[in-house]
Amino acid sequence: MLALPGALLHAQRLPQTVRPEHYSLSLVPNLKDATFTGSEKIDVLVEQPVDSITLNAAEIKFDSVTTQVNGKTLKATVSEDAEKQQATFTFNRTLPAGRMTLAIEYSGILNNELRGFYLSKTAKRNYAVTQFEPTDARRAFPSFDEPGYKATFDVSLSIDKNDTAISNTNIVSDTPGPLVGEHTIRFATTPKMSTYLVAFLVGDFQCVSGESDGVPIRACATPDKVQYGRFALSAAEFVLHYYNTYFGIRYPMPKLDLIALPDFEAGAMENFGAITYRETDMLLNEKTASVAAEKRVAEVVAHEMAHQWFGDMVTMQWWNNIWLNEGFATWMEDKPVAAWKPEWKIPEDVATDLNDTLNLDAQRVTRTIRAEANTPDQINEMFDGITYGKAAAVLLMVENYEGAEVFRRGVHNYLQAHMYGNATAEDFWSAQTEVSHRPIDKIMDSFISQPGEPVLNFGEPQSGSVTVSQQRFFLNPKVKPEKAQTWSMPVCFKAGGEEQDCEVLTAAQQALHAPQAEFLFGDAKGRGYYRYIYPASAYAAIVSHVESGLSPEERISLLGNEWAQVHANTASVGDYLNLAAAVKDDTSAAVVTTALGAVEAIDGRIANTPEEHAKLAAWVNANFKPAYERLGAPSAEDGPEKRELRAALFGALGAVGKDPDVIAQAKQITEKYLADPASVDNTLAQPALTIAASNGDAALFDRLQKTFEDTSDPQIGEGALRRLVEFRNPELEQRALEYAVSGKVKNQDAAIVLAISLEIPETHDRAWTFIQQSWDKVQAQITTSMGAYLIRGTGYFCSAEKRDEVTSFFAAHKVAASADALTRAGNAISDCIELRSAQEPKLQEWMTGQK
């Protein structure tokens, strides 16, 4: 990270002397020339007399800036500071305190960077669309572009007469002109809101329509894809009613639109009343979609809709508390989806996500949930697994402790108190402390303001109590805590089959109540934000009850914990494999997926010789093939969990087991799928495509490439594209890498494809060589926040040599907003080196012990 002195960083913030109250924006985009003109009026309140007014602007050409003072028109001189993305208006006289209106005439470009007011393209035509979070509204209109400066907005767009426009609110007028062949669409005034939530979209979008609790809802896309929006629309209808009830506050906008955009950098964006999506996160064909695709679309819909209340109606004061938005929405999204489709077993997926987050936060270098962020790069870097995953996990733990209904009331009170305003972390946890009469402020503060996570050491239970000590946990056994850290957290026991009341652990060491029982498990429901270690006999008692005494979420916690302990070298890889074997007949897809995910990692990261791979393959097949065979062939009657379980088993038998039957089946399924996607179970088709491609030839490569280029179904297209980097043949690998940066793959996807190729042990060396040698081409195809995505892929190496190459390459080839990602990639490689050196001998030992 660039070391700028604090004062300089703060200079990026706007002065507090002038506040916007209302913006009137008239925009005229030219989709052919990729330009636009703007005519803007900002009503501001000058708090104290000022000599100039400073606001944000980036890549804006000012034509004139004027204001009226005492009936006289004053013309401003404009000075721009490109570095700070600011413009200062000076009027030749001091401006008095009070209200005034700034009138700004300007022009800008519809850029190709997927941010600000940007151009999105299909083979047929261009679209003009927006993405403003976190700091790019300033590219579309000069503005006080900080979340604390809320104002109301009137937006009007003059566009081609055959095009339509969508913005945050409903249309109030649609009149011909001003030029021949144009019409002008005016939208209703918005409620008070932050600039980053404004959106306007222009093109030939078409929509399917519905409603919920009297609110009109539409799902919109380019004309060829509009039918694929029906699933997201029905999810949104369910979710809107669910949230109206949950929050006890009605959805605040006159309408809700969901719009899939042909080019979109993130997954989706919660613009108030006009949520935008990457096509694959909104559109699917219900006849052919996989369970995973349906879950993903529903979750993204529920996530962005949660923001309509939490984020849009009530907004964090500054980006240091972006976790309030993203952590909350990530926690919230699961509730309506779980209620909509109980058969999806969403709580088990939540437990799986928690393991990923705990592993991320157990790296040597991590950061606090709430953290300083001042420059646009720093702010962009905040959107990471800590903001999303850790903050969501802390909320889940706290909700579990308070009880869902008490927590809900805390949420309601917080929203009610700050409606259409801004808030801080303290505002949120004070509301929770007040409703629950419990020390939520202490618990949350200890997790929000400290980096990392605790590991709890449980002693032997004795006469109704157990001693628990805590310290910071690291995945890497070589990393030791620099200073003592303690957290306040609820610890919830399951004693035998019985859940106990949770108790709050605050001290470094403390005795907690624990009744005598057959086994004592310290993470009832699997919602604790901590890892744990038991004495050997206590651990053995838990393992012997893993199927009979633990819930699926608890099993996922236990598996994730044991895998983390293998990294930390407090357990051996053999212990892990024995635990995985103990759940081999589990009927929970998430449990089996968790176990097999680690087995795949053992194959990719610990096993290092052909013999080790072969022995692991034999073990996987011996243990998991019977479960796969018992499930039988896919049938129309199969529920989603059975489909996902079959797919998980099939995937591991192919990838780790290299089972010839499975590979042959994968090829057959892939053939059928490519001929007619509706002819196979698409959940099973996902691992089948991966296995077929990783064992595939040029003919299959050509077919996948053609499928990607020809299909209008975003799910099928994305699936085909991603499999192009699965081929192990060096020539095909090279073709895939070159294709990724050829310009035929959208900028939104190029880095994702390259990152996948970096994650596969068999392909990552060549991928890395290619990326370095073709850096100019790579760089030209990745947009700003995709750089960090690419760098994350380099974290899958497992040698000091590669770690040094990665570090020195990106030191010489700077990628914006990726300092943390680079540090983490280096940490991840170090963790893998330690894992392999400690556990490979143990793997050999364990293998010798297997008959």
For position 688 contacting ligand BES by CB under 6 A, the verdict is no
Segments of 446-550 assigned E as strands? 454-458, 465-472, 489-491, 494-495, 498-499, 503-505, 509-513, 520-521, 531-533
The span from the CA of 444 to the CA of 256, in Å, is: 33
Window 276-315: contact mask with Zn ion (x via CB under 5 A):
----------------------------------------
Contact call for residue 538 and ligand BES (CB under 6 A): no
159 binds ligand BES (CB under 6 A): no
CA distances from 457 to 71, 312, 696 (A): 74, 42, 48
Minimum Å gap between C-beta 384 and Zn ion is 12
Residue 268 in contact with ligand BES, rule: CB under 6 A: yes
Beta bridge partners of 706: none
- Is residue 266 within the footprint of ligand BES (CB under 6 A)? yes
Smaller CB separation from Zn ion, 199 or 329 = 329
Closest CA to 715 of 136, 358, 281, 180: 281
Extract the runs of DSSP E, i.e. beta strands, from 96-236: 98-109, 116-121, 126-131, 152-160, 164-167, 171-176, 182-187, 200-203, 206-212, 215-221
Contacting residue, 139, 218, 307, 370, with ligand BES by CB under 6 A:
307
Regarding 267 and contact with ligand BES (CB under 6 A), the answer is yes
For residue 764, which amino acid is it? H
Q: Which of 706, 644, 700 minimizes the C-alpha distance to 669?
A: 700
553 lines the binding site for ligand BES (CB under 6 A): no
Shortest distance, CB of residue 379 to ligand BES, whole angstroms? Answer: 9
**800 - beta bridge partners?**
none
Q: Nearest Cα to 53, choosing from 61, 63, 62, 44?
A: 44
Does 329 interact with Zn ion (rule: CB under 5 A)? yes
DSSP labels, 664-675: HHHHHHHHHHHH
* Between 271 and 565, CB nearer to Zn ion: 271
The strand order across the sheet containing 86-95 reads 50-56, 86-95, 77-81
133 binds ligand BES (CB under 6 A): yes
Q: What is the DSSP letter of 162?
A: T
Considering the complex, what minimum distance in angstroms separates the CB of residue 275 from ligand BES?
9
For the CB of residue 134, give the shortest distance to ligand BES in the complex, in Å.
Answer: 6
Q: Applying CB under 6 A, which of residues 145, 257, 294, 304 lies at the interface with ligand BES?
A: 304
Check residue 145 for interaction with ligand BES (CB under 6 A): no
349 counts as binding ligand BES under rule CB under 6 A = no
Contact 255, 169 (CB under 8 A): yes
Judged by CB under 5 A, the residue of 281, 326, 384, 726 near Zn ion is: 326
Decide which of ligand BES, Zn ion, none touches 267; Cβ closer than 5 to 8 Å per partner kind: ligand BES
Q: Are 386 and 477 in contact, with CB atoms under 8 Å apart?
A: no
Strand 256-261 and strand 274-278: the pairing is parallel
Element (H, E) at 358: helix 346-361
Where is 692: in which H helix or E strand?
Answer: helix 682-694
Is the Cβ–Cβ distance between 364 and 334 less than 8 Å?
Answer: no
Question: Any idea what DSSP says for residue 270?
Answer: -
Minimum CB distance to Zn ion, residue 414 (Å): 17
- Nearer to ligand BES (CB atom), residue 266 or residue 622: 266
Beta carbons within 8 Å of 583's beta carbon, 6+ residues apart = 546, 547, 555, 559, 591, 592, 595
Q: Of 308 and 486, which has the nearer Cβ to ligand BES? A: 308
Q: Is 303 in the site for ligand BES (CB under 6 A)?
A: yes
- Least gap, CB of 749 to ligand BES (angstroms): 14
Q: Is 817 in the site for ligand BES (CB under 6 A)?
A: no
User: For Zn ion, which is the closer residue by CB, 414 or 770?
Assistant: 414
Among ligand BES, Zn ion, none, residue 268 binds (CB under 5-8 Å by kind): ligand BES
Tell me the C-alpha distance between 48 and 776, whole Å.
Answer: 50
Q: How far is the CB of 785 from ligand BES (least distance, A)?
A: 6
SS3 assignment, position 422: strand
- Outline where 387-466 has alpha helix (H): 391-402, 404-417, 425-436, 440-448
Mark 779-808 as b/e (b = at least 16 C-beta within 10 Å): eebbbbbbbbbbbbbbbbbbeeebbebbbe
Q: Is 737 in the site for ligand BES (CB under 6 A)?
A: no
Q: Give me the least distance between CB of 328 and Zn ion, in Å please.
A: 9
Q: Residue 254: name its binding partner from ligand BES, Zn ion, none (Cβ under 5 to 8 Å by kind).
A: none
The single residue among 29, 116, 134, 528 that binds ligand BES, judged by CB under 6 A, is: 134
Binding flag, residue 270, ligand BES (CB under 6 A) = yes
Q: Under the criterion CB under 6 A, does residue 257 sit at the interface with ligand BES? A: no
> What's the closest the beta carbon of residue 248 comes to ligand BES, in angstroms?
22
User: Which residue, 319 or 563, has its beta carbon nearer to ligand BES?
Assistant: 319
439 binds ligand BES (CB under 6 A): no
Site stretch for Zn ion (CB under 5 A), options 109-117, 135-143, 179-187, 326-334: 326-334
Rg value, the chain, Cα: 28
Q: From 323-331, 481-489, 529-537, 659-667, give the range in contact with Zn ion by CB under 5 A.
A: 323-331
The single residue of 304, 503, 834, 840 carrying the catalytic annotation is 304
Order of all β-strands in the sheet with 465-472: 509-513, 465-472, 454-458, 531-533
482 is catalytic: no
Could you give the count of Cα atoms lying within 13 Å of 715 in the half-sphere of its Cβ?
26
Residue 269, contacted partner among Zn ion, ligand BES, none, CB below 5-8 A by kind: ligand BES
Q: Which does 299 bind (CB under 5 to 8 A by kind): ligand BES, Zn ion, none?
A: ligand BES
Size of the residue set binding ligand BES (CB under 6 A) = 16
Closer to ligand BES at the Cβ: 197 or 704? 197
- The strand pair at 215-221 and 256-261 is best described as parallel
Q: How far apart are CA 781 and CA 294, in angstroms?
A: 29
Does position 361 interact with ligand BES (CB under 6 A)? The reply is: no
Residue (196 or 414) nearer to Zn ion, CB: 196
Binding site feature residues: 303, 307, 326
Both structure tokens of 96:
């008095």
Query: Could you tell me which stretch among 301-309, 511-519, 626-634, 685-693 binds ligand BES (CB under 6 A)?
Result: 301-309
Residues 314-343 that bind ligand BES (CB under 6 A): 326, 329-330
Q: Does 720 bind Zn ion (CB under 5 A)?
A: no
Cβ pair 178, 217 in contact under 8 A: no
Which residues sit at the interface with ligand BES, rule CB under 6 A? 133-134, 266-270, 299-300, 303-304, 307, 326, 329-330, 383
Which residues sit at the interface with Zn ion, rule CB under 5 A? 326, 329
Residues recognised as catalytic: 304
